[in-house]
């Protein structure tokens, strides 16, 4: 089986408590593969300071001087990425060591691969793990770089752009594969997009995005986004 190459795309904002564990888990999983890790710091000085003091194999960190949101960071890191496949990952999650091997087993003939996960609640330093069974992540997935660029990328939204991208591709007839085993631990905490007061599932901004998604689903009209270009400084 031929060896594919992977660019792991990780935007980060206010996750300086978790990103070291995240990056170490990604390196451990991909250590025997052809890979690069691209981290985009979304104007978070504490994360910048931390990553300037650290070193991770095959990893480059970039700084955005403006807070633009994770999906604009992702879109711009993709323009820098050089490998066959993109793996979108979150800076507060933990990758299982088996992840890269599982991807290698299926990515030679699949263009779009979705991940199952386990999750745990991080609260006051305590963690309780729960198995999620058939659940798979919207924002954590692997996709052929050429396919992602064919559909331009994510909407430049603060949240819900991963759901829009998934439904846009499905509407265009792009099928995906779900790997059977969970490939990462999803961390729930008060600052992530899913639980933050500003962007959680009952927030005003997310409800507005969901209305847009529902409207597009009803009409079948899924326009590709315009990429918001930003300047990223290599640390």
Q: Which domains does the chain have, with CATH numbers?
A: 5-234 (3.90.550.10)
Residue 132 reports pLDDT greater than 60: no
Given its phi and psi angles, is residue 52 left (phi above 0), alpha (psi -120 to 50 degrees) or beta?
A: alpha
Q: Decide: 131 and 74 in contact? Cβ < 8 Å.
A: no
In the chain, what percentage of residues exceed pLDDT 70? Answer: 88
Q: Give the pLDDT confidence score for residue 109 in this predicted structure.
A: 80
The SS3 assignment for 199 reads coil
Query: Under a CB-based contact definition with an 8 Å cutoff, are residues 187 and 119 in contact?
Result: yes
**Confidence at residue 7, expressed as pLDDT on a 0 to 100 scale:** 98
Q: How confident is the model at residue 9 (pLDDT cuts 50, 70, 90)?
A: very high
**The pairing of beta strand 34-42 with beta strand 59-64:** parallel
In contact, 40 and 77? CB cutoff 8 Å: yes
Q: How confident is the model at residue 38 (pLDDT cuts 50, 70, 90)?
A: very high
- The answer on pLDDT for 128 being more than 80 is no
C-beta separation of 216 from 161 below 8 A: no
* Phi, psi angles (nearest 5°) of residue 42: -85, 65
Please give the structure tokens belonging to residue 34: 């052809």
Mean pLDDT to the nearest integer, 113-131: 69
pLDDT, residue 192, reads 63
Average pLDDT over residues 50-66: 97
Task: Specify the higher pLDDT residue, 217 or 122.
Answer: 217
Q: Quickly state the pLDDT bin for 129 (edges 50, 70, 90).
A: low
pLDDT in tens, 152-208: 999 999 999 999 999 999 999 998 999 988 999 988 776 666 656 666 666 788 899
pLDDT at 195: 56
pLDDT at 131 over 70: no
Supply the mean pLDDT for the chain: 89
Cα 122 to Cα 187: distance, rounded to the nearest angstrom:
6
Q: What's the whole-number mean pLDDT along residues 53-65?
A: 97
Please check the confidence at residue 3 and state whether its pLDDT lies above 70: yes
> Own/partner pairs for 49-55, CB < 8 Å, 24+ apart?
49/16, 50/16, 50/19, 50/20, 51/19, 51/235, 52/235, 54/20, 54/23
CA distance 104 to 86: 13
CB-CB neighbours of 197 under 10 Å: 9
The reported pLDDT for the residue numbered 126 is 47
pLDDT in tens, 17-34: 999 999 999 999 999 999
Reported as type and span, the H/E element at residue 37 is strand 34-42
Considering only CA atoms, which of 192, 147, 137, 156 is closest in space to residue 174? 147
Query: Whole-prediction pTM value?
Result: 0.92
Helix/strand/coil for 40: strand
């Amino acid at each position: 089986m031929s060896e594919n190459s992977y660019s792991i795309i990780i935007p980060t904002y206010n996750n300086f408590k978790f990103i070291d564990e995240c990056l170490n888990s990604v390196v451990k999983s991909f250590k025997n593969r052809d890979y690069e890790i691209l981290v985009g710091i979304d104007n978070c000085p504490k994360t910048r300071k931390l990553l300037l003091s650290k070193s991770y194999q095959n990893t480059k960190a970039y700084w955005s001087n403006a807070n633009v949101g994770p999906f604009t960071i992702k879109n711009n890191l993709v323009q820098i990425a050089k490998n066959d496949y993109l793996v979108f990952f979150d800076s507060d999650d933990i990758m299982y060591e088996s992840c890269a091997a599982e991807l290698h087993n299926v990515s030679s003939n699949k263009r779009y691969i979705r991940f199952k996960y386990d999750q745990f609640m991080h609260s006051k330093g305590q963690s309780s793990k729960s198995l999620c069974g058939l659940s798979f992540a919207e924002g954590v997935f692997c996709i052929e770089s050429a396919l992602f660029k064919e559909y331009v990328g994510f909407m430049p939204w603060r949240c819900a752009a991963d759901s829009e991208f998934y439904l846009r591709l499905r509407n265009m007839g792009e099928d995906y594969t779900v790997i059977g085993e969970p490939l990462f631990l999803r961390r729930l905490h008060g600052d992530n997009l899913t639980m933050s007061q500003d962007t959680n599932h009952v927030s005003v901004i997310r409800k507005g995005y969901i209305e847009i998604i529902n409207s597009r689903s009803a009409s079948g009209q899924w326009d590709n986004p315009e990429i918001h270009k930003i300047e990223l400084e290599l640390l």
